[in-house]
A and B are shown apart, each in its own frame.
Chain A
Amino acid sequence: MTDAHPVMLTELEMDALTELVNLGVSNAALSLREMVREEVLLSVPKVTIMTREDAIASLGEGDGRKLVAVHQHFHGDIEGRALLIFPETKSMELVRAVVGGDMPLEELMELEQEALAETGNVILNACLGTIANNLQHSLQISLPEVVYGHGAEFFRLAPPPNVADGVLFIYINFVVRERDITGYIAMLLDLPSLITLKGMLGRFIERVGESGIVTRSHEA
């Protein structure tokens, strides 16, 4: 799996993007803490960009690999969709972490959809919002939707896949109420949006200077 993509980001641009993602995710942690009222630790081990086909191939098309995702659409200066994805078997862990307490198993399973939707909503909003604000452009972000399936299906949601589409993968890990959950955020962008994003990153780097110091814009 290489980072080969028509729109190549320079190392500096990639660093800037990673910096923004880190900021976004730490804001997401704050928002999540507000929601669950417990310590939340979110970390971002890795950020990469790849083509949509590579992303589909890496997630597999098999009968197995069941995943659950919270999906939000965004449009504005750039357009695309963002997904927060977990393995289906971990979703119960997440629900319990978020809801807490000693709820019986059956009640917990009923809450699953709502808990996932709200959690995904909080995380994606914080992430996308932070990135948008720092790059000084606006994004309209839709309400969340929970979907089950395989990576291939998520990335083949309409409009039909285009060779030049890009997927920004963010592999995140979070710890809530002593539960350790690994998932990732994927942002799908079409070619025009990628080009726009590259431009924005360039202007951001100029504004902020090569040292890449970023200030927090989100209130806890």
Chain B
Amino acid sequence: MKPNEQDREQSILDAINGGLILLDTGGRVQSWNAWMERASGFSAAEVTGKTLTEIFPDTDLKRLPSAITAALASSASTWLTNALNPNLLPLRSRSSLPVLHDIAVSPIGAEPVTGCLIFVTDVTMTTNRERYLRQQQNARYDAVVESAPDVIITLDHEGRIQFANPAAVSHLGYSVAELIGKEAVELFETRLDFVATWRSAMASPLSTRPIELVARRKDGSQTYLEASASQWKTGSRYFVTVILRDINQRRATDAALRASEVQARNAAAALTELNQTLEQRVQDRTAQLTSAEDALRQSQKMEAIGSLTGGIAHDFNNLLAVISGNLHLLKHDVAGNEPAERRVKNALDGVARSAKLSTQLLAFARRQPLAPKVINLGRFIEDMDDIIGKAVGEGVTVEVKIGPELWNTLIDPGNVENALLNLAINARDAMDGQGSLTIEASNAILDADYVRMHADVVRGEYVLIAVTDTGEGMTPEVMTKVFEPFFTTKPEGRGTGLGLSMVYGFVRQSGGHIKIDSEVGRGTTIRLYLPRSLQIEEQLVDIDAMPVVGGNEMVLVAEDDEAVRDTVVALLNDLGYRVLKAKDAQSALSIVESGMPIDVLFTDVVMPGTLKSTELARKARERIPHLAVLFTSGYSQDAISNSGRLDENVELLSKPYTRDALARKLRHVLANATQKKLMQANFDAALLTGKYPAKKLLSVLVCEDDPLILYSTIELVRHMGHQATPAADAHTALSILATKPIDIVLTDVGLPDMSGAKLVEEALLQNPELAIIFASGQDQGSDVSSSNGAITLPKPFTYDALAEAIASAARKGRRP
């Protein structure tokens, strides 16, 4: 090249407003323009022939060297942004300020590559401007958030913490890095309460009402916080900000105040008594001791009876299961033979009655499996008004008094209903059909003095239900026996004598206390003390309103009793399932580990062998994630945790069960497990292979109480391109419908607070043009999809089925 051309080329390079470096195939500098000279402080002469590492020996060049290699060896171009690689080269501006820069590395020449070009761009101004703008925007907000004494965290749509303010760090003891990305629910002891608050914040744009939560700091200490949450969105992403206020001081003060008030009162009373009746007290003391001993003996007696009864009932249940199962099968075999059918039916009725009897015995023995839920008894009892009225008849006036701010309690609702009915009927009989019955509910605290006087009760906060009648009353002798099974004061043929014993067993098994006060000729009051629960009220679901179908999945049956096992296998085969059987947990586990494609594990809770059924379920789930598990039990004391409560996520079918109950329960657990499995798999596939592009943007309201299914469905609908809004129950759904424009409602049939059908009725009243899709775990009868032209989407549904349903709903929609 002639000198002129070289000069011209160089002057072009020097005129460029950016750094330009040319490297030869060995990575050594061939050209270094004027911009680079100014910014680096090195002249072209100083650097020619050197590699970048030699020119900047004290600088960590990060990915720059490998980018150069990639350009020379593979003709690849690389971009290194300032955002991710700040201050890569030590460059300064004319005012000696650092130059923020992007670097682009590209090959020169092709086949062969003759060198590498590095281009440096100054982005200082842009970056500073962006930073300034952001600071401006955030200044006011930041000032509040950064200096707030309250803990403020922001959660993304998956409940993970995306932001935590300084108060969060100092109060909870975690560093910011530890908090970001963590699932917020892990911070709390009261997880149900937290999840409820988060859910309602996600569901509606209004802030949630403040609620008390208990959190655990990093050092393990507990802290009481008042939480309120609200949602916000940016672009298509939803977030929830939660503000947590420290109320430890307030609680401590309240508790201290209460404690000192109680103390003061007790002290005053004690002093008066002391002054007045010294001798009397000695006498009373002796009497107390005697009655405490009596109470102890009484409860020991009850324990003994309970043991005996429980044992008999368990064996009895197993036998009943065999009889029942075989009768069901027999019913099929004799179909068409009238007399035979009738006899089988009678036999089945007998079995049903026997089953009821054994359930009652188990209730007394405190060994029935309970399914407790957090409920507010005040509402519950008021709802029972009608039933109680009918049970006691016209001659008895019923009065219900519910105390203010009644606490919640963790109790099996079915059994509470039973207990109250039993008490009401007993009261009616005691009054001979004429009189008055009062049911009161109030908060109560059983203190140390009370506890000393009565056996088997602990101090604490309780919800008290008192049932009072104006009947003939009981003598003290009768009172000691009244809870025993089969004890009755009624003439032959009236009642089984099991009612009160069931109530006794149930209350005790729920951790409560029962007390009778009675006066002959005046009446009786029975008091049930049920432990207070600090959790929020749950809503109740009824799965019995579903039709019965079989299936063809593979079921693994684990049951040690041979007769019962054979019967179950026959029943399942009859329903169409493929069955594998095992006689204990260990052999069941071997079958699972052999790799058989099992869909559901159906196992007795108590079986011989070292492996427990709960362990079996856990290990089986390790091998087959989303495996549906159904437990069954005649009775059990150990496996269903200490006081007969079901562990979370455990489904239980109590023996003896009818064929229908078995069929329904199996479909229920299978549908849920399959839905979860399908959601997981289809979600990923759905991202990329959606065959149903949305023709237009629709607004879909998804109503479903299972959180995993709800949020997976929301994601799927959003990926189809529609707007999706979540609602975990019918009331939330209705309030969303009132405030937001919705085109399609996709709802589960069974919701916690009202049936899906009812929700749809109400929704259509608000907006007759809504299109409806029902999702459910069973084939639906006509009652659901009839009049309003709704579409049914059987669970478990695939991505395709969901898209198809939404497309049809959109077509059917009566929108203009």
A residues neighboring B (CB under 8 Å)? 1, 31, 34-35, 58-66, 72, 76, 87-89, 92, 96, 98-99, 101-102, 104-107, 109-111, 114-115, 117-118, 121-122, 125, 128-129, 132-133, 138-144, 171, 182, 184
| CB-based contact A63/B694 at 8 Å | yes
Does B180 reach chain A (CB closer than 8 Å)?
Answer: yes
Find chain A residues with CB under 8 A from B66 CB: 31, 34
A101 CA to B176 CA in the complex, in Å? Answer: 9
CA A139 – CA B71 in complex, angstroms?
Answer: 10
Q: Tell me which residues across on chain A come within 8 A of B75, comparing CB atoms.
A: 76, 129, 132, 138-141
Does residue B269 face the partner (Cβ distance < 8 Å to A)? no
- Chain B positions 670 through 702: 1 when the CB is less than 8 Å from some CB of chain A, otherwise 0: 000000000000001001111111111100000
- Nearest neighbor of B723 in chain A, beta-carbon distance: A64
> Which of B63, B77, B107 meets A34, CB within 8 Å?
B63
Type the 1/0 row for B155-195, where 1 means its CB is closer than 8 Å to any CB of A: 01000001100000000000111011100000000000000
Q: CA A173 – CA B557 in complex, angstroms? A: 37
Structural contact, B721 and A141, CB atoms closer than 8 A:
no
B154 touches A105 (CB 8 A): yes
A-B pairs with lowest CB-CB distance, top 10: A64-B721, A60-B693, A62-B693, A129-B74, A114-B83, A114-B81, A62-B694, A125-B76, A102-B176, A102-B177
A and B contact pairs by CB, cutoff 8 A, 24 listed:
A34-B66, A35-B63, A59-B688, A59-B690, A62-B694, A63-B697, A88-B236, A89-B236, A99-B84, A106-B134, A114-B81, A115-B83, A118-B79, A121-B77, A121-B78, A121-B79, A122-B78, A129-B75, A132-B74, A138-B111, A140-B110, A141-B74, A143-B106, A144-B79
Contacts of A132 in B (CB 8 A): 74-75
B581 in the interface (beta carbon within 8 A): no
B799, chain A: closest CB distance, angstroms: 13
Q: What residue of chain A has the Cβ atom nearest to residue B722's Cβ?
A: A64
Determine whether B130 belongs to the interface, using a CB cutoff of 8 Å to chain A. yes
Residues of A within 8 A of B180 (CB): 101-102
A215 to chain B, nearest CB (A): 16
The verdict on A76 contacting B162 (CB below 8 Å), with A114-B84, A182-B687 known, is: no
B759 contacts the other chain (CB 8 A): no
Asked whether, in the complex, the Cβ of B107 is within 8 Å of the Cβ of A143, the reply is no
Q: CB-CB < 8 A to A122: which residues of B?
A: 78
- Taking the closest CB of chain B, its distance from the CB of A179, in whole angstroms, is 8
Contacting residues, chain A, for B689 (C-beta < 8 A): 1, 58
A92 to chain B minimum Cβ distance, whole angstroms, is 7
B70 CB within 8 Å of chain A: yes
Structural contact, A87 and B110, CB atoms closer than 8 A: no
Q: Tell me if B70 and A125 are in contact (CB < 8 A).
A: yes
The answer for the CA separation of A102 and B73 in the assembled complex, in Å, is: 37
Residues of A within 8 Å of B691, CB to CB, are 58, 60
Contact across chains for B687 and A87 when beta carbons are under 8 A apart: yes
Nearest CB in chain B to that of A107: its residue: B134
Q: Which residue of B lies closest to A180 (CB)?
A: B684
Chain A residue at smallest Cβ distance from B175: A102
Q: A128-B74, A138-B74, A142-B77 are in contact. List 16 more A-B contacts (CB 8 A).
A: A35-B63, A35-B84, A59-B688, A60-B691, A61-B693, A63-B696, A63-B697, A65-B720, A118-B81, A121-B78, A121-B79, A125-B70, A129-B73, A138-B110, A139-B75, A140-B107
Expressed in whole angstroms, the Cα–Cα distance for A62 and B696 within the complex equals 7
CA–CA, A122 and B66, complex, Å:
11
Name the one of B78, B177, B695, B718 contacting A101, with C-beta atoms under 8 angstroms. Answer: B177
Is the beta-carbon distance between B719 and A87 smaller than 8 angstroms?
A: yes
Q: Is B17 an interface residue (CB 8 A)?
A: no
Partner of A118, one of B73, B76, B84, B718: B84
Tell me the residues in window 113-127 of chain B with beta carbons closer than 8 Å to chain A beta carbons.
113
Q: Are A133 and B74 in contact (CB under 8 A)?
A: yes
B598 beta carbon closer than 8 Å to chain A:
no
Contact B179 A143 (CB under 8 A): no
Docked complex Cα distance between A171 and B76 (Å): 22
Residues of B within 8 Å of A171, CB to CB, are 688
The complex places the Cα of A182 from the Cα of B111 at a distance, in Å, of: 35
A72→B695 CA distance, assembly (Å): 30
Q: Does B80 contact A (CB under 8 A)?
A: yes
A65 and B690 contact, CB distance less than 8 A: yes
**Whole-angstrom distance between the alpha carbons of A34 and B64 in the complex?**
11
| Separation of A122 and B81 alpha carbons in the complex (Å) | 12
Query: Once bound together, how far apart are the Cα atoms of A1 and B685, in whole Å?
Result: 14
Expressed in whole angstroms, the Cα–Cα distance for A31 and B66 within the complex equals: 9
From B63, B77, B134, give the contact of A110 (CB < 8 A).
B134
Cβ contacts under 8 Å, B111 to chain A: 76, 138
Known A-B contacts A89-B236, A106-B138, A121-B78; A65 and B721 likewise in contact (beta carbons under 8 Å): yes
* In the assembled complex, B709 has its CB within 8 A of some CB on chain A: no
Residue of A nearest to B106 (CB): A143
* Cα separation A99 to B156 with both chains bound (whole Å): 18
Is there contact, CB below 8 Å, between B81 and A64? no
Interface hits, B62-101 → A, CB 8 Å: 63, 66, 70, 73-84
Verify A62–B721 contact, CB threshold 8 A.
yes
Shortest CB–CB separation between residue A81 and chain B, in angstroms?
14
Is B494 in contact with chain A by the CB < 8 A criterion? Answer: no
CA distance A125 to B177 in the complex (A): 31
CB distance B719 to A102 under 8 Å?
no
Distance, CA A87 to CA B236, complexed state (A): 12
A218 to B671, CA, bound (A): 49
A133 to B72, CA, bound (A): 12
Q: Which residues from chain B contact A1 at a C-beta distance below 8 Å?
A: 689
B163 is contacted by which of A59, A76, A105 (Cβ under 8 Å)? A105
CA distance A35 to B179 in the complex (A): 24
Tell me if B607 counts as interface (CB < 8 A to partner A).
no
The CA-CA distance from A146 to B687 in the complex, in Å, is: 20
Q: Is B104 an interface residue (CB 8 A)?
A: yes
